[in-house]
Structure 1
């Protein structure tokens, strides 16, 4: 049978099928935040949490439509940051590219740490650093072999998450319709809005839920990074992006309704997974072990995607520096397997710092702070991608009959304003202030260094 895989000009392979990309999109939409963190957000806001998820889901959908529109005009790009370079200039592009890549490395580290934590559920005495080395080694190898193998791994990782959510929703719907009796009372849909108020624990708790859910959705843009290696990019972009909002409604809102229908929201706490509680109330004693397996695969899925994305972003950075530089010569290469192997290996090698973090608590504390800063930097990069989209609309690249962002004149400025509000809200939440201040310091210092470096390069390129 003849292979349908085509090769890009730069040597990468269009090996990811529509099946792979759709599941990568679902995997990027559903994180461990739903399985573990939803109890915390529900306990803060009650049923109003659905309004938080819906609002953020809508704005993330608009952002994905903006990114999708640019990719539709040029599906040869490997990362949305390349559009920031193109439309906002090389200085902003370099700043965004390095910032996003460093953020990805820290996300990889966080997910690798999480895998060791979840494995301890079954093997409490097994050394964490061994678990981390095994997961990192296996998933880095998956990424080095071929993009198709990465896609296949993500397909099955996402399938496990979907099965868990659908199983809980079906179980919950059955319990609600049969009015099952639990130690907490009757399971019924009326539990969701019983004694409902918009701000049950005050406006502050409602507002602070927005950044929590924002970070739960972080990584939703990973699907766009697969477009450069998808078989039918124009078809895939439309389907993957358009279904973002539907997936959020189905998996998040559906799961939240079921959780609060079975467990009165006043009984939910931040220190226990609602999924575990629902399955236990349904008479499933192994619930904790099953959900632990699901969140383990979810963390492995995120790590797998992070390695894929970090490799593509570092490769992109290497292609944007002068061809005679060591970075370009070393990392702007595609292997025979059609992947940026050197960039993947370098990114994965940095993640090897993670096993060292278990040596002292001081390293762990610094890591927590830096991770917070890098997470907050994503808001800035997302905003820059929206500004790049506005420049794209005013450029000759704009396709009037392309995959256009809906109601652009209203939704574009609204999305940018919303991201700005989310960032400002961080300064009113004690645990997020350090990260927000760090993000501003990083922008001023690293942005300034990048600007001065680019100014030095410009005369050289013109002479």
Structure 2
């Protein structure tokens, strides 16, 4: 068995413009574009505070990743540090768990793509849309890896422009005193773009404390995958410059892209009438009668989901390749074979095959919302990986490798326990809502069963 760290089968060839835009794109995803509808429906304007609190926690978490990668960027992934500082068995557990996470991300993004396409094709089955999307993105991932960086660069530009355009439109409509008449569930509704849509009868828990707590899961899902920033930074020409720059810009991006976008949505339309199962970015324009803008935004959020699926397929495939190289005992040899242009094609086939569970989920009647179910599974497993990383960071700080002159996590003795508390609160919240209970139990079963296996397996 190979015990050294295995690099990616092909360098990404990322330039600084790629890493900066991909870093921005990592803070804008389906959790915001689609998941915000449900969180707004559950908690109203107070959801902004949830995004701020979890955003702060994620920034500190990324600083812990940044500190490790800055000290040793040759590791390529924050996951490799678990093997280095905790042990090979823990590293085995966290690497396979993270790979499973990426598969669930693929499933989540596929369900989102189906929802977006149904905006134009409401009578086409979700499962069919998802299968077609998977085939197209599979084909894209068979191309040269350098093409990945360029594709994500342009996807990122579209997403950033959409958010800024959304905020700018809200400001324009607000100062233009725009009013509208809409029809909601067969009843006429008149309204206006106004700050009062947020402040009128404001309540921190308009639908109860438990709804507010339950919404934390989807907020957390909106921030997951941000660690990809640190993982791609290792592929740049100057990681010691790129890592701090990319991570330190996260707080500003959270304020602009998350808080700004949510406030814009709720300023344009009364939050109590925004549908929970659709993208609020699209529906606010649909409801106020600007249908061309709704169609444009739907195209943008569709490209966002396609971008996220593209990234997840790419990452899950490379992770599978790396795992097969490290833990091959004659069973995974086929997954280490590369195509002529350096693509681990068999690993890509495996990931795509598992992603086909997305259309299967939409056909199971017991699952009311396939996206919520997949997003819950993703959040659960991400949190397990995050908990292991925080322990890894603790072990690093206690080791001789700790560099007090490096890119340090600010006030780590205070901030890291704060992050742990927030992550624990989110994980516990998953057990208090019917939509997230079974995914939460599944994550516990995986952690216990696979944890025991990882602990007892021969090295």
Moved more, 184-193 or 198-207: 184-193
TM-aligned CA distance change 1:220 to 1:266, over 3 Å: same
Q: Is 1:87–1:388's contact at 8 Å kept on the other side of the alignment? A: yes
1:234 aligns with 240
1:101 aligns with 99
Q: Is 1:10–1:334's contact at 8 Å kept on the other side of the alignment? A: no
| CA distance in structure 2 between the partners assigned to 1:355 and 1:431 by the alignment | 18
* 1:161 aligned onto 2:159: yes
2:212 aligns with 206
How far did 1:181 drift? 2.6
| CA distance in structure 1 between the partners assigned to 2:143 and 2:237 by the alignment | 18
TM-aligned CA distance change 1:279 to 1:300, over 3 Å: same
| CA distance in structure 2 between the partners assigned to 1:301 and 1:76 by the alignment | 27
2:354 aligns with 350
Q: Is 1:17–1:232's contact at 8 Å kept on the other side of the alignment? A: no
Could you tell me which of 241, 256, 276 is aligned with 2:262?
256
How far did 1:33 drift? 2.9
| CA distance in structure 1 between the partners assigned to 2:125 and 2:174 by the alignment | 43
TM-score, normalisation: structure 1 = 0.86
2:409 aligns with 405
* 1:415 aligned onto 2:413: no
TM-aligned CA distance change 1:202 to 1:274, over 3 Å: same
Q: Is 2:8–2:322's contact at 8 Å kept on the other side of the alignment? A: no
| CA distance in structure 2 between the partners assigned to 1:290 and 1:155 by the alignment | 20
Moved more, 192-201 or 262-271: 262-271
C-alpha deviations, 1:322-374, integer Å up to 9, x for none?
6xx32564445666645555433432343345556677658999998677445
Q: Is 1:168–1:279's contact at 8 Å kept on the other side of the alignment? A: no
| CA distance in structure 2 between the partners assigned to 1:436 and 1:276 by the alignment | 30
| CA distance in structure 2 between the partners assigned to 1:360 and 1:278 by the alignment | 30
C-alpha deviations, 1:130-182, integer Å up to 9, x for none?
65454334433433433321111112222222222211111110121232233
1:461 aligns with none
Q: Is 1:103–1:378's contact at 8 Å kept on the other side of the alignment? A: yes
Moved more, 294-303 or 336-345: 336-345
Moved more, 369-378 or 156-165: 369-378
Could you tell me which of 259, 267, 271 is aligned with 1:265?
271
How far did 1:434 drift? 1.5
Could you tell me which of 432, 455, 459 is aligned with 1:451?
455
| CA distance in structure 2 between the partners assigned to 1:185 and 1:124 by the alignment | 27
| CA distance in structure 1 between the partners assigned to 2:441 and 2:99 by the alignment | 20
| CA distance in structure 1 between the partners assigned to 2:228 and 2:169 by the alignment | 31
| CA distance in structure 1 between the partners assigned to 2:123 and 2:268 by the alignment | 36
TM-aligned CA distance change 1:138 to 1:79, over 3 Å: farther
TM-aligned CA distance change 1:218 to 1:11, over 3 Å: closer
Runs of 5+ unmatched residues, structure 1: 1-7, 458-463
Q: Is 1:321–1:327's contact at 8 Å kept on the other side of the alignment? A: no
1:81 aligns with 79
| CA distance in structure 2 between the partners assigned to 1:177 and 1:371 by the alignment | 37
| CA distance in structure 1 between the partners assigned to 2:410 and 2:226 by the alignment | 19
How far did 1:280 drift? 4.1
* 1:274 aligned onto 2:280: yes
Q: Is 1:81–1:93's contact at 8 Å kept on the other side of the alignment? A: yes
| CA distance in structure 1 between the partners assigned to 2:289 and 2:372 by the alignment | 37
Question: 1:3-402 maps to which residues of 2 (within 5 A)?
Answer: 12-13=10-11, 15-123=13-121, 131-183=129-181, 184-280=190-286, 284-321=290-327, 325-326=329-330, 329-332=333-336, 337=341, 340-352=344-356, 354=358, 372-402=376-406
Q: Is 1:64–1:221's contact at 8 Å kept on the other side of the alignment? A: yes
C-alpha deviations, 1:80-124, integer Å up to 9, x for none?
211122222111111111111112112213323433443344345
Q: Is 2:431–2:437's contact at 8 Å kept on the other side of the alignment? A: yes
* Aligned-pair Cα RMSD in Å: 2.9
* 1:438 aligned onto 2:442: yes
TM-aligned CA distance change 1:203 to 1:115, over 3 Å: closer
Q: Is 2:162–2:300's contact at 8 Å kept on the other side of the alignment? A: yes
TM-score, normalisation: structure 2 = 0.87
TM-aligned CA distance change 1:123 to 1:385, over 3 Å: same
How far did 1:391 drift? 1.2
Equivalent residue pairs, number: 446
How far did 1:295 drift? 2.4
| Secondary structure in structure 1 of the residue aligned to 2:62 | helix
